[in-house]
Amino acid sequence: MKILFKTADRSNLVAQNVIHHLEQRVFEIADCSKMGNPNDFDWVIYAPWMSCEPIPPPQIPKNRGYKVCAYISDLHVHRRFKRTPRKLVKYLNENYDLVLSVYYEMGTEPNFYQENITIPYVFFPPWVETDYYHPSDKPSLYDVVLLGQYDSRRVYPFRFDIARNLRRVASREGWRILLKPAPRGRSAERKLDALYEMGEIVGSRYVETLGRSKVMIGGTSIYKYPLLRYFEGMACKTCVVGDESPMFEKCGIMNALNYWQVSRRTWAQDMKMLLEDDGLRNYLVENAYENIMKNHSALVRAKQMVKLLEEYQ
């Protein structure tokens, strides 16, 4: 089966792992390319809702001899080009043959997309390139890290509340912490090399930081879908704590088995317990790492993608 990826060039972007690593693994198991005439392929893969993709999203030819699949990781950004959910559904139904989406449920109407999209809609959770994200063999640097977006109470209320109080609690408990916001700008448009030279925690420095941290604070957004950061932390053998996502169970992520669910009321006492109980923390870490390696590597997800494309061919 011949597959064409029509995605932006991420060779020097922070968000390259969103699609780039999957592409590389699909290359290993299918006849795949980033370039060429779509009519020469069986499937064309688009990622039409990522911040580095064209706006408005691509217009797909009506008369074509190939099928088109949409991979969706940021469905809510349709607001940037003024598409309501119903217009979005209409666009998908009229232009695509298959949707692979990181959202199983979303928003106030959890099943809105599944119930209104008439083409096959498949839950396709995040993945990590396990050759890139890996544990560190160096001593820990931090007891607790909180990285990424946490300054927006509207989008990230869980992280926002913890960030406001983390330094105070850490000072009281004697924790070594790292509280570091994401670099400015849209994640998929940030230049990895330049940010690394500026000392930002990106690229291999980000991987090393996770691998040398005992506990990583996750936290989903108001959209409650499983964020890539959870998978990255687990792949680096960091104990991940965070709030609940209704989609975690479908990813094999379970409270008290491979991550620790906390609330905005209990997070401080929960993390104190985890930092004092090495046995419990290591139990969670090892189970999480096993789940990532078995179910959420880029190679596993690439095999799933190829199988789905064969099924809906």
Distance of CA 254 to the CA centre of its chain: 17
- In the 8-state DSSP scheme, what is residue 106? -
pLDDT 10s digits, 224-259: 777 889 999 999 999 999 998 888 999 999 999 999
At residue 165, φ and ψ (nearest 5 deg) are -115, -5
Which regions of the chain carry the CATH code 3.40.50.2000?
A: 2-127+297-311, 142-295
- The C-alpha atoms of residue 171 and residue 165 are separated, in whole angstroms, by 10
- Rounded to the nearest integer, the mean pLDDT of the chain is 86
What is the model's pLDDT at position 125? 92
At residue 249, φ and ψ (nearest 5 deg) are -60, -35
At residue 267, φ and ψ (nearest 5 deg) are -60, -40
- The C-alpha atoms of residue 162 and residue 178 are separated, in whole angstroms, by 13
Query: Is residue 56 classed as helix, strand or coil in its secondary structure?
Result: coil
What is the model's pLDDT at position 203? 84
What is the model's pLDDT at position 199? 84
What is the model's pLDDT at position 14? 44
CB 21 within 8 A of CB 63: no
CB 149 within 8 A of CB 155: yes
Beta strands in the chain (DSSP E): 2-6, 31-33, 43-46, 67-72, 98-101, 121-123, 142-148, 177-181, 213-217, 239-242, 260-261
CATH superfamily of 142-295: Glycogen Phosphorylase B; (3.40.50.2000)
**Cβ within 8 Å of residue 257, ≥6 positions away:** 284, 287
What is the model's pLDDT at position 308? 97
**169-178, 221-230, 287-296: the lowest-pLDDT one:** 221-230
Tokens of 17: 């792992």
What is the model's pLDDT at position 141? 97
Higher pLDDT, 103 or 158: 158
| DSSP symbols for 66-99 | SEEEEEES-GGGGGGGT--HHHHHHHHHHH-SEE
The pTM for the full model equals: 0.90
pLDDT 10s digits, 13-72: 444 556 888 999 999 999 999 899 999 999 999 887 665 555 556 778 989 999 999 988
What is the model's pLDDT at position 233? 96
Residues facing 6 on adjacent strands: 46
- The C-alpha atoms of residue 78 and residue 56 are separated, in whole angstroms, by 9
- The C-alpha atoms of residue 301 and residue 73 are separated, in whole angstroms, by 14
What is the model's pLDDT at position 152? 81
pLDDT at 4 over 90: yes
Local confidence band at 140 (pLDDT 50, 70, 90 cut-offs): very high
Higher pLDDT, 21 or 308: 308
pLDDT at 192 over 70: yes
Residues facing 147 on adjacent strands: 180
- The C-alpha atoms of residue 87 and residue 37 are separated, in whole angstroms, by 28
Where is mean pLDDT largest: 89-103, 126-140, 171-185, 188-202? 126-140
pLDDT 10s digits, 260-293: 999 989 999 999 999 999 999 999 999 999 999 9
Other C-beta atoms closer than 10 Å to the C-beta of 139 total 6
Task: Tell me yes or no: is domain 2-127+297-311 CATH 3.40.50.2000.
Answer: yes
